[in-house]
């Protein structure tokens, strides 16, 4: 379990609330990590704000990845894990986008390391990061015409009849 | 490095010098000097690198997709194949992630045993990386000796779990069985013999003029750049940032151990090498402390947590008792309920912060698993580190970054 630095966490929430108001959709603490959901348009500003703040100093992007909830209206999520090394506090940010409006502002303006992580997210989920310097597929072949981590693509061929999979897997 | 480009001989008064062409050079995907499947398309100005572009994904195996269809126990073998030079750290990282999600308390004895395993794996990994830096600078001897030492570590793993490289060591909640006497004998023998070998290896390289000339100021990165690029592990510490997950967010009772976090100053190849060397000594000290703590314990038999629901039943029961066999099967196939939740857990892998982001919806398999692979994130800084340097320096820079293809491509 990561130790929660309560002072910093409440300060983070306070500052985010006062700075972003309506654009901060929800906040909660999931197990040992505070999580904030934002409207996708403002995520680059949020990252920049948290980076520049003199006390919070969330200056390390630990991880960036995508997630797909096919039943939600805003199907696609991007999840950021930030780390304030000086305060030793980690937080999680989330933004969600709909299939017909699948673009999220890039984090590469704040963190150079976001470059490949966003390319990976694009590669697997098709989430377009606007303003990204080089948004190409990274792990899959360039001429692939679908986004394999989306939930509609099963891991195995669903038409196979020689194998009863009812008891295994999802 | 970049100055070298500018300091070149002025050719403006030489006839024909205006016809200046860059050469595109493919290094890889299969090149003996890259230790893995890496392709770099380099733009060369004579011997100097003007630009480089990495192509990755040659051994992409869709682990994250596969993990969405595997029960928690079955994801363990996938983690072996991330950084395969130190699989036990990945294995333990995965166990701890699931244990955190399930809320299982791990007994101290098991935690100390895990610390021993993880530090052994770190020594094996650093040994390989550092001796390969030696090979790339022309010193093959150290490599052969250090591989012998790695062999001894693998023998210890073999005694504990039955396999060597892709270990799948341990289970959720502890270990699959208690360690046998032979494992302890081998471990103690290794702890006794290894320091002399490590010293011998260091004597070969640390004050070696050729080695110093080849590594100092080669492939440097500043602390600021390293943080911005998401560096972690020895590469970040070589740049002077004392960030270590074992200290920042202690897991597995690392807070009980006394060790220092070695840091470098320039973030160059020599610093990365030195930080790894120093870390191996720290790892040795941690293992010795763990052995002393275990020796002082009265309990010699606990090897997993007390949680019937998630910890596999004892093998004797499984082989002789129908109910235990069925229960064992159900557990491995993911029939035991995992609570819904969302979790990020990190361990200090041999080359950086290895993170596991798991979203569970309460089903038998995770809804989403994301592996934060340290070398995937820091390898993107490679072109910036080698621009303006010689091709031969680029090779050393890469090997000193400890980029492991399996982890890079997941």
Q: For B222-277, what is each residue's pLDDT tens digit?
A: 999 999 999 999 999 999 999 999 999 999 999 999 999 999 999 999 999 999 99
Confidence of residue B364 (pLDDT cuts 50, 70, 90): confident
Nearest CA among A61, A70, A125 for reference residue A93: A61
Domain count, chain A: 1
State whether B267 and B397 are in the same domain.
Answer: yes
State whether B164 and B25 are in the same domain.
Answer: no
State whether B221 and B200 are in the same domain.
Answer: yes
% chain B with pLDDT above 70: 95
SS3 state of residue B390: strand
Q: Return the number of CB contacts < 8 Å for A and B.
A: 102
State whether B121 and B198 are in the same domain.
Answer: yes
Burial (CB count within 10 angstroms: exposed 0-12, middle 13-18, buried 19+), residue B65: middle
Q: Which residues 6+ apart lie within 8 Å of B190 measured at CB?
A: B152, B153, B156
Which residue from A minimizes the CA distance to B227? A60
Q: Checking DSSP bridges between strand A103-105 and strand A128-130, what pairing results, if any?
A: parallel
- What per-residue confidence (pLDDT) applies to B16? 55
| In the predicted structure, residue A170 carries a pLDDT above the cut 50 | no
State the Cα–Cα distance between residues B279 and B177, nearest whole angstrom: 29
| In the predicted structure, residue A32 carries a pLDDT above the cut 60 | yes
The chain-wide mean pLDDT, for chain B, equals: 89
SS3 state of residue B314: coil
CA distances from residue B176 to A129, B294, B365 in whole angstroms, order as listed:
44, 18, 21
| In the predicted structure, residue B193 carries a pLDDT above the cut 50 | yes
State whether B246 and B352 are in the same domain.
Answer: yes
End-to-end, the C-alpha distance of chain B in Å comes to: 32
Task: Write down which residue in B33, B55, B77 finishes a domain.
Answer: B55
Cβ pair A155:B66 closer than 8 A: yes
Smallest Cα distance from B391 to chain A, Å:
24
State whether B333 and B317 are in the same domain.
Answer: yes
State whether B99 and B248 are in the same domain.
Answer: yes
State whether B155 and B36 are in the same domain.
Answer: no
User: Is residue A16 in a domain?
Assistant: yes
Cβ pair B377:A113 closer than 8 A: yes
User: Is residue A153 in a domain?
Assistant: no
Two structure tokens written together for B387: 């621009």
State whether B324 and B212 are in the same domain.
Answer: yes
Smallest Cα distance from B227 to chain A, Å:
6
User: Is residue A149 in a domain?
Assistant: no
State the Cα–Cα distance between residues B81 and B166, nearest whole angstrom: 7
CATH for A66: 3.30.460.80
Instruction: Return the beta strands (E) in A85-130 as ranges.
Output: 89-97, 103-105, 128-130
State the Cα–Cα distance between residues B274 and B41, nearest whole angstrom: 29
Cβ pair A116:B355 closer than 8 A: no
Nearest CA among B360, B358, B379 for reference residue B370: B358
Two structure tokens written together for B397: 């820079």
Chain A residues in contact with chain B using a Cβ-Cβ cutoff of 8 Å: 1-3, 30-31, 33, 35, 59-63, 65, 67-68, 79, 81, 85, 88, 90, 92, 111-117, 120, 124, 138-141, 148-149, 155-156, 167-170
Instruction: Closest CB to B228: pick one of A62, A68, A112.
Output: A112
Sheet arrangement for strand B368-372: B341-349, B352-360, B368-372
**Residue A97: beta bridge partners?**
A76
Domain count, chain B: 2
Please list every residue in chain B whose beta carbon sits closer than 8 Å to the beta carbon of residue A57. none
- Enumerate long-range contacts of B196-202, CB under 8 Å, 24 or more apart: B197/B145, B197/B146, B197/B148, B197/B149, B198/B149, B198/B277, B198/B280, B198/B281, B198/B284, B200/B145, B201/B130, B201/B131, B201/B142, B201/B145, B201/B146, B202/B277
Cβ pair A148:B370 closer than 8 A: no
State whether B202 and B250 are in the same domain.
Answer: yes
Q: Which domain, by its residues, includes B198?
A: 63-409
CB B396 within 8 A of CB B219: yes
| In the predicted structure, residue A168 carries a pLDDT above the cut 90 | no
Which residue from B minimizes the CA distance to A62? B230
State whether B91 and B44 are in the same domain.
Answer: no
CB B374 within 8 A of CB B82: no
State whether B160 and B24 are in the same domain.
Answer: no
- What per-residue confidence (pLDDT) applies to B29? 85
Two structure tokens written together for B393: 């320096």
Q: Which domain, by its residues, includes A70?
A: 6-104
């Amino acid at each position: 379990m990561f130790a929660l630095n309560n002072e910093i966490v409440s300060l983070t929430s306070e500052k985010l609330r006062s700075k972003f108001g309506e654009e901060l959709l929800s906040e909660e603490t999931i197990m040992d990590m505070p999580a904030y959901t934002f409207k996708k348009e403002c995520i680059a500003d949020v990252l920049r704000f948290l980076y520049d703040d003199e006390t919070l100093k969330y200056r390390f992007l630990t991880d960036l990845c995508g997630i797909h909830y096919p039943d939600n209206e805003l199907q696609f999520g991007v999840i950021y894990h930030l780390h304030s090394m000086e305060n030793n506090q980690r937080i999680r940010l989330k933004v969600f986008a709909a299939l017909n409006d699948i673009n999220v502002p890039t984090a590469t303006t704040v963190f150079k390391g976001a470059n490949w992580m966003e390319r990976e997210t694009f590669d697997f989920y098709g989430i377009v990061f606007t303003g990204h310097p080089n948004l190409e597929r990274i792990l899959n072949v360039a001429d692939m015409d679908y986004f394999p981590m989306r939930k509609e693509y099963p891991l195995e061929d669903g038409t196979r009849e020689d194998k009863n999979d009812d008891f295994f897997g999802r | 490095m970049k100055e070298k480009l500018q300091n070149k001989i002025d050719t403006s008064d030489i006839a024909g010098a205006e016809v200046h062409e860059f050469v595109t050079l493919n290094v890889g995907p299969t090149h003996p000097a890259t230790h893995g499947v890496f392709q770099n398309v380099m733009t060369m100005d004579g011997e100097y690198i003007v630009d480089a572009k990495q192509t990755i994904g040659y051994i992409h195996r869709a682990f994250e997709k596969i993990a969405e269809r595997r029960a928690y126990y079955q994801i363990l073998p996938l983690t072996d194949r991330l950084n395969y030079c130190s699989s036990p750290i990945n294995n333990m990282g995965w166990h701890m992630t699931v244990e955190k999600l399930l809320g299982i308390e791990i007994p101290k004895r098991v935690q100390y045993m895990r610390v021993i395993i993880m530090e052994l794996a770190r020594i094996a990994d650093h040994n390989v990386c550092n001796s390969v830096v030696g090979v790339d600078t022309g010193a093959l001897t150290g490599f052969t000796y250090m591989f012998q030492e790695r062999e001894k570590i693998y023998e210890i793993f073999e005694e504990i779990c039955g396999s060597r490289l892709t270990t799948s060591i341990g289970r959720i909640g502890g270990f699959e069985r208690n360690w046998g006497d032979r494992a302890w004998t081998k471990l103690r023998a290794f702890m006794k013999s290894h320091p002399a070998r490590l010293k011998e290896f260091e004597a070969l390289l640390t004050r070696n003029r050729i080695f110093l000339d080849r590594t100092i100021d080669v492939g440097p990165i500043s602390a600021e750049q390293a943080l911005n690029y998401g560096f972690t592990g020895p590469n970040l510490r070589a740049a002077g940032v004392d960030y270590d997950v074992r200290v920042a967010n202690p897991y597995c009772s690392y807070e009980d151990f006394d060790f220092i976090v070695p840091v470098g100053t320039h973030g160059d190849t020599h610093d990365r090498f030195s930080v790894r060397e120093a870390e191996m000594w720290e790892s040795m000290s941690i293992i010795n402390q763990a052995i002393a703590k275990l020796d002082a314990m009265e309990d010699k038999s606990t090897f997993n947590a007390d949680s019937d629901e998630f910890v596999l039943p004892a093998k004797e029961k499984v082989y002789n008792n129908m109910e235990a066999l069925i229960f064992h099967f159900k557990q491995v196939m993911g029939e035991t309920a995992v609570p819904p939740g969302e979790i990020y857990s990190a361990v200090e892998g041999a080359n950086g912060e290895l993170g596991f982001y798991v979203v569970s919806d309460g089903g038998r398999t995770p809804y989403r698993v994301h592996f934060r692979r340290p070398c995937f994130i820091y390898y993107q800084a490679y072109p910036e580190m080698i621009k303006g340097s010689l091709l031969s320096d680029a090779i050393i820079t890469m090997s000193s970054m400890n980029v492991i293809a399996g982890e890079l491509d997941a």
